[in-house]
Structure 1
Amino acid sequence: MVNKKKRTRLKSLSQGRPPTAKPVSTISSKATRNQIRTHHKLEKERAKALVAGDDAKAAALATEIELQGGIEGYQRASLIGQTNERGGDSSKVLMEWLNVPALRKLSDGGTSIRMLEVGALSVSNACSKSKIFDMERIDLNSQAEGITQQDFMERPLPLNELEKFDIISLSLVLNYVPDPIGRGQMLLRTLEFLKSPQDAGQLQDCLPSLFLVLPAPCVTNSRYLDENRLEAIMESLDYVNVKKKLSNKLVYYLWRMESSTAKKMSTFKKEEIRSGKSRNNFAIVLK
């Protein structure tokens, strides 16, 4: 029997991740999907064990995750999924949505258009290749030169507007946060890293903005989240939806920040909005 211990909340995203392990060899599309799904499942179970104070179970799950390939194995599978033959990287969608000619004109004229890519796996995605953006890339487990190893939730806050960003990319990052409250805190924290809307100039129709990508089932098949709920949460943070796209596997959103103060922020609890045994438990909580 496990001794009951005081429940603790994970303070950072890195607490929800296990030790790293050596990457596995090249794997098939089906194996890639299975590895990603298994990794997320084990991660969630481990996060719950940590919060419950069950160190023995958490350690056992960490070992199982490591045997599955660890973070590096997961990242390798994700990188394979971003190759052209597997559909390409999600930043291509962002580039399709942005006013590229206007952005390039500003960039060529000496204006720095800053983008923060959280959970970056590569330095050669569509945004990087465009040479438009002053890119800053971070990840919990950096896999390449040009990607800083850093937890977004522990990143020092900007000291001034010059240290802030025009765009923040959270592509398949929010779903990695192990608990609903942490996801809400991450979304709220993005406001502190985006430039003031007044500085967007002629690009105020799409900047400053948050590019958010999630596995489609997080929105289409969750007990606790659907598009209406997500939109209400984002609007309470003073984000307005500019673009969205739904594919079989992913949902893409571009949210423009109207204000950096979340004046309309409301409380959103974890409450059932759709029933059914086949639903998943993905949720976002704002307090």
Structure 2
Amino acid sequence: MAAKKTTRQPKSLTAGRPPTLNRTRSISRKTTKALIGKHHVLEKRKQQAIAKGDKRAMSVIDAEIAAMGGIEKYQEASLQGQRHDRGGDSSRVLMQWLEPCLKERKALGEGSLRLLEVGALSTQNACSKSGFFDIQRIDLNSQGEGILQQDFMERPLPQSDADKFDVLSLSLVLNFAPDPKGRGEMLLRTTEFLHEPERYLGSEVPMDMFPCLFLVLPQPCVANSRYMDEARLTAIMESMGYTKTQSKTTQRLVYYLWTRESTCVGLGGPFPKKELRTGGTRNNFAIVL
């Protein structure tokens, strides 16, 4: 039985994700990694200080972040990591998974599939250049023409099937949601934007992977969190009707393709914040649903 939808107003992504910059200067790989890592540690400490109401600690941490160059320097490093020569275009992995099916569709004269790219940084990534998609790109701070400045959590819900999508991409977006409940609400909201699974039955080309959600997270969010591991993430996604059809893990990132196989939501939940691992080196990434 489908769970009742919450009346809690979803929190805007602007509460958690830093703004982006239009241009960046070249930064070495070592410097980029160190700056991003240090910033994440400081942000973690800041959230702990906020939870304790420790204004003095918050002030000290803000000063440390400012001394590093602030959010602007952090975002410069983040965008530098997206460069092609740094292996930063995550959509190349998505294309590897979907391309065989897409090529077969094109050979039979089938039309383009619809893709919603949340947190888009470029109009020149692998998906954009493929010619297989009709793409709508959104980001909190648009990087230019072709990217709508919009918060996914405030995007109007589809009013008809024509407003829905075959593929939704959340690449390094979920980890910027402001809190665990916000992450759960974001994942739940994705189901509203994807077509019904029945749409693909009887297709001349096997469409077993559609509709789907492409999810990319920093690898430590799953591999080294107190409150999240592979089994927990899978259970959360399955409770929303998703099935994991592809995955890939690198030293830095974890990539998933989740196929929406059911419209039932709420099975197996709820999922509160629960410690799964102990240890002082763990991070606090969590998803509450």
Q: Return the TM-score normalized by structure 2.
A: 0.84
For the Cα contact (< 8 Å) 2:21–2:75, is it kept in 1? no
Distance 1:57 1:135, change over 3 A: farther
Give the unaligned 5+ runs of structure 1.
Answer: 1-8
1:220 aligns with 2:219: no
The count of residues paired between Structure 1 and Structure 2 equals: 277
Q: Matches of residues 1-287 of structure 1 in structure 2 within 5 Å?
A: 11-17=11-17, 25-45=25-45, 65=65, 68-98=68-98, 100-104=99-103, 106=105, 109=109, 111-200=111-200, 201=203, 202-262=205-265, 264=267, 266-286=269-289
Code of the residue aligned with 1:187 in structure 2: it is L
Could you tell me whether the CA contact under 8 Å between 2:21 and 2:143 is conserved in 1?
no
Structure ranking higher on relative contact order (CA contacts 8 Å, 6+ apart) = 2
Which runs of 5 or more residues in structure 2 are unaligned? 1-8
Superposed CA offset, 1:42-78 (max 9, x none): 4445556667777887687667656645555444323
Look up the SS of the partner of 2:192 in the other structure: helix
Deviation track 1:229-273 (CA, whole Å, cap 9, x = no partner) reads 111111111100000111111111100001234152510111111
Deviation at 1:104, TM superposition (A): 4.0
Check conservation: 2:15, 2:177, Cα contact below 8 A.
no
Deviations 1:181-200 (A, max 9, x none): 11111100000011111122
Q: Which amino acid aligns with 2:248?
A: K
Q: Hey, what's the Cα distance between the residues in 2 that align with 1:210 and 1:28?
A: 32
Provide the alpha-carbon RMSD of the alignment: 2.9
Q: Aligned partners of 2:64, 2:143: CA distance in 1, in Å? A: 22
Identity, % of aligned pairs?
57
Q: 1:111 is paired with a residue of what secondary structure?
A: coil
Closer, same or farther in 2 for the Cα pair 1:101/1:229, shift >3 Å? closer
AA at the equivalent of 1:233: I
SS of 2:132 mapped into structure 1 = coil
Determine helix, strand or coil for the equivalent of 2:143.
Answer: coil
Distance (whole Å) between structure 2 residues aligned to residue 22 and residue 46 of structure 1: 27
Deviation at 1:218, TM superposition (A): 0.8
Aligned partners of 2:58 and 2:20: how far apart in 1? 15
**What SS is found at the alignment partner of 1:183?**
helix
SS of residue in 2 equivalent to 1:243: strand
User: How far apart, CA to CA, are the structure 2 residues paired with 1:126 and 1:21?
Assistant: 21
Larger CA deviation: 199-208 vs 175-184: 199-208
Classify 1:25/1:107 alpha carbon distance in 2 versus 1 (closer, same or farther; 3 Å): same
Distance in 2, matches of 1:59 and 1:194, equals: 43
Amino acid paired to 2:152 = F
Partner residue in 2 for 1:6? none
2 CA distance for matches of 1:80 and 1:49?
30
Q: Deviations over 1:158-194 (max 9, x none)?
A: 1111111111111111111121111111100000011
Rate the CA distance shift 1:221–1:32 in 2: closer, same or farther, 3 A.
Answer: same
- The answer to whether the Cα contact below 8 Å between 1:169 and 1:212 also exists between their aligned partners in 2 is yes
Confirm or deny: 8 A CA contact 2:19 2:75 kept in the other structure.
Answer: no
Q: What is the CA-CA distance between 1:105 and the residue it aligns to?
A: 5.1
256-265 vs 239-248, which deviates more?
256-265
SS at match of 1:214: strand
2:4 paired residue number: none
CA distance in 2: counterparts of 1:214 and 1:27, whole angstroms:
22
CA distance in 2, matches of 1:268, 1:185: 12
Q: Distance in 2 between matches of 1:141 and 1:21?
A: 8
